[in-house]
Chains A and B, each alone.
Chain A
Amino acid sequence: MSHDTTRRDLLKSAAIGAVAIAPGLTLIAPPAQARAPGQPASAANRWGLLIDTRKCGSVCTACVDACKTEMGLPALDRPATDAQYIRKVDVKDPKTGHQHSLPVMCQHCAKPPCVDVCPTGASMKRADGIVLVDRHICIGCRYCMMACPYKARSFAHEDQSGQKDHNPRGKGCVESCTLCVHRIDAGGQPACVEACSKDGGAAMLFGDLNDPKSEISQRISKEATSRIRADLGVEPAIRYQGI
């Protein structure tokens, strides 16, 4: 633990140095927190998102499109079985007619029901809170899909082609949003967040919920946020504003 903290502090110092030397750069990229190869994920981090639905346009699908490209999810034009790691959900209050739109993906719960029910342990939560499926031991029973309160998971219903190196997919296994773990491990941020800030309404903020100095922690400590189905007590890492 102390090792991680030290490393993070070092990286922060480096980032602060970068701010001092080239202030313009901080507008483009967050401080790099890449893990060294072989170094395990650390419980010192809790990666999460803050999504401001007030900035999320109902017709905008920048995050969804970016995800499909990033993760190599081809559209087979079979909506009932095509994989969707992230989707735009339109929410309407039937009493008032008020509508808003928001992206929903794996909520990377602290107490993930999918991990609880998985018979083999293929559904797993990394130390840094990212929920993943180990495709080597997923037997395709789909119990996790029954258990997920967010319908965040998809089943690979057919042979796969055009796969990305960082997202190997296999017919007969369950899959879902990885929070772009390959990018996070390299010090980057999820593709959806990047696309939202570039082509969308800049509604998504990625960061470390365990770092009190991170922008996301600062915001959630000062602004009202909520989580989808917070009543279930699964403690998602995805927070929303305006829902």
Chain B
Amino acid sequence: MSTHRVDYLAIPAWTKGWLTLVAALGAVVAVAGLSVLYMEHQGHWVTGMTNQVVWGMPHVFAIFLIVAASGALNVASIGSVFGREVYQPLGRLSALMAMALLAGGLAVLVLDLGRPDRLIVAMTHFNFKSIFAWNVILYSGFFAVVGFYLWTMIDWRMKRVYKPAAITAFLWRLVLTTGTGSIFGFLMARDAYNAAVMAPLFIAMSFAFGLALFILFLMGSSKALDRPLSLELLRKKGRLLGLFVAANLYFVAIQHVTALYQADRGPVEAFILLHGGIHTWLFWAVQVGLGGVLPLILTLRPDASRDRLAAAAILVALGGMAQIYVILIGGQAFPLTLFPGMETTSSFADGQVASYVPSLAEVLLGLGGFALALLVTLLGASALRILPASLGDGEEATAEVLDAEGEPHAAQ
């Protein structure tokens, strides 16, 4: 029963390195803003998106960030809801990153709308049969719920409501990711979607992607700030990442095996798994190989080094982008089935596999979402005491663990 206190220190602002990073991220965000102006002024015909592939690269980035956002909160949940003390010092960063990633993803999503100027309409007109409308509420509520949760972690006067806030945030993120997965799960029109497994699949994806980004930020910030970071803690997180990656692979297997069992899904499965060109390549080589099997090998070794764990996290994020690309673009590229068993042709690309070549502006918008998420995290951790002063072990562990009750302490 340890009663050590965790000290949290804000990232020192206005240093040369801090200013350089803020300027660099700000520049990427600004370039993304210019891309939006260009696409919105010209109209979407200048993007790679068409009447066949209606959601493109911005949505790949946005969905990745939104899914990762809810996953990034898991570190806090494991510490608070499930009482794993070793994770508690990271709860604040976990909550901040969750909000920052969601902000980045939503910014990309909203700025790709045909009419982003009508965002207020989306906030005031709700069709409650639409999972999109529910997501507007779930995403907005996420900021409130997680923001409050972060407050209870930072302010000792709020410790009474720390646990309820943690449980609410955990349940909220599960519902939120269910909502995101259901965007596809509820689509009966397209052979690649329309499956209940989409919701749990997205939850597994969120666990993996969110933790991968969390590990990367933690390693990067510890190095930049020269703060100790225990290798044992990293390995623990690495093993957890491996578990999440395995869960993701499991649901991917269920997704495809179930579809393969249905005769009418045969063609779309053959497209994704066998002869879908870029989609097949991304699925097997990047999603399953680089983003699934390889991180499993890297993280589950008991003697995993820091570099290997960092590599595993990068690969999981890369594989995640590929996974969402295959789900989103691959699912749209495969033609709609108007007449099962028949061959169709038309002036509107019926029966044809749609091609999609993302434009530079789309990719820049998506990268802007990443930059915004990082910028918000950086600024948040500079303004508030988010990061523990030390996550070291041995002699460095003086400020590592917190009290036995699992209650957070105020920083001093």
Residue numbers of A with Cβ under 8 A of B are: 64, 76, 78-84, 87-94, 104, 113, 115-122, 137-143, 145-151, 153-159, 170-174, 228-229, 232, 243
Give the docked Cα–Cα distance between A117 and B130 (Å).
Answer: 4
20 A-B contacts, Cβ less than 8 Å apart?
A64-B347, A79-B349, A81-B44, A94-B341, A104-B346, A117-B130, A117-B131, A118-B127, A118-B132, A119-B122, A119-B133, A119-B136, A120-B125, A137-B121, A138-B114, A147-B189, A151-B52, A157-B43, A158-B44, A229-B338
**By the criterion CB–CB under 8 Å, are B187 and A147 in contact?**
yes
Shortest beta-carbon distance from B115 to chain A in Å:
4
Residues of A within 8 A of B136 (CB): 119
- Chain B residue contacts of A116, Cβ below 8 A: 129-130
CB pair A142 B55 closer than 8 Å = yes
Q: B45 contacts the other chain (Cβ, under 8 Å)?
A: yes
CA distance A172 to B40 in the complex (A): 8
On chain B, the residues within 8 Å of A232 by CB distance are 188-189
Residues of A within 8 A of B130 (CB): 116-119, 143
Give per-residue flags for B165-203: 1 if the beta carbon is below 8 A from chain A beta carbons, else 0: 000000000000000000100111110000000000000
Contact A80 B50 (CB under 8 A): yes
State whether the Cβ of B54 lies closer than 8 Å to any Cβ in chain A. Answer: yes
Q: What residues of B have a CB within 8 angstroms of the CB of A80 in the complex?
A: 50-52, 349
| Bound form: Cα–Cα A113–B131 in Å | 12
Q: Which residue of A lies closest to B335 (CB)?
A: A151
Whether B189 lies near A159 (C-beta < 8 A) is: no
Known: A113-B188, A140-B113, A172-B113. A121 touches B349 (CB 8 A): no
Q: Does B278 contact A (CB under 8 A)?
A: no
Cα-based distance from A172 to B342 in the complex (angstroms): 34
- Determine if B411 is an interface residue (Cβ-Cβ < 8 Å): no
With beta carbons under 8 angstroms apart, the residue of A91, A137, A151 that contacts B336 is: A151
Taking a contact as CB atoms closer than 8 A, the residue among A115, A172, A228 that contacts B114 in the complex is A172
For chain B, the count of residues having a C-beta within 8 Å of the partner chain is: 49
For the complex, what is the distance from the CA of A140 to the CA of B183, rounded to whole Å? 16
User: In the assembly, what is the distance between CA of A156 and CA of B187, in Å?
Assistant: 22
Prevailing SS type, chain A contact patch: loop
Chain A proximity of B345: nearest CB distance (Å): 5
For the complex, what is the distance from the CA of A155 to the CA of B119, rounded to whole Å?
18
A82 to B126, CA, bound (A): 30
- Which of B45, B116, B187 has a CB less than 8 Å from the CB of A81? B45
Give the nearest-CB partner of B348 in chain A: A87
Whether the Cβ atoms of A143 and B132 lie closer than 8 Å is yes
Q: Is B118 an interface residue (CB 8 A)?
A: yes
Among A116, A138, A139, A232, chain B packs the most CB atoms within 10 A around the CB of A139
**Which residue of the partner chain B has the closest CB to A154?**
B51
Q: Which residue of A lies closest to B345 (CB)?
A: A90
Return the chain A residue nearest B124 by Cβ.
Answer: A120
Beyond known contacts A140-B118, A143-B130: 14 more, CB 8 A cutoff: A64-B347, A80-B52, A80-B349, A81-B45, A84-B51, A91-B343, A117-B132, A117-B186, A117-B187, A121-B126, A141-B122, A149-B188, A158-B42, A229-B338
- Is B74 part of the binding interface, using a Cβ–Cβ cutoff of 8 Å? no
Q: Are A157 and B344 in contact (CB under 8 A)?
A: no
Query: With the chains together, A139 CA to B115 CA distance in Å?
Result: 5
Q: Is the CB of A142 within 8 A of B114?
A: yes
How long is the Cα–Cα vector from A81 to B48 in the complex, in angstroms?
Answer: 10
> B342 contacts A84, CB within 8 Å?
no
Report which of A90, A115, A121, A146 forms a contact with B332, defined as CB distance below 8 A: A146
Q: Is the CB of A93 within 8 A of B342?
A: yes
Residues in B with CB closer than 8 Å to A82 are 51
Interface of chain B residues 27 through 45 with chain A (CB within 8 A): 40, 42-45
Confirm or deny: B393 has a beta carbon within 8 angstroms of a beta carbon on chain A.
Answer: no
The answer to whether B122 touches A155 (Cβ under 8 A) is: no
Distance in angstroms between the alpha carbons of A137 and B346 in the assembled complex: 31
B121 touches A120 (CB 8 A): yes
CA distance A94 to B43 in the complex (A): 39
Known A-B contacts A116-B129, A121-B125; the reply to A142 vs B54 at CB < 8 A is yes
Within the complex, the shortest CB–CB distance from A33 to chain B, in Å, comes to: 30
Q: Give Cα distance in the complex from A142 to B45, angstroms.
A: 14
CA distance A100 to B336 in the complex (A): 18
Nearest B residue to A229 by beta-carbon distance? B338
Cα separation A173 to B114 with both chains bound (whole Å): 6
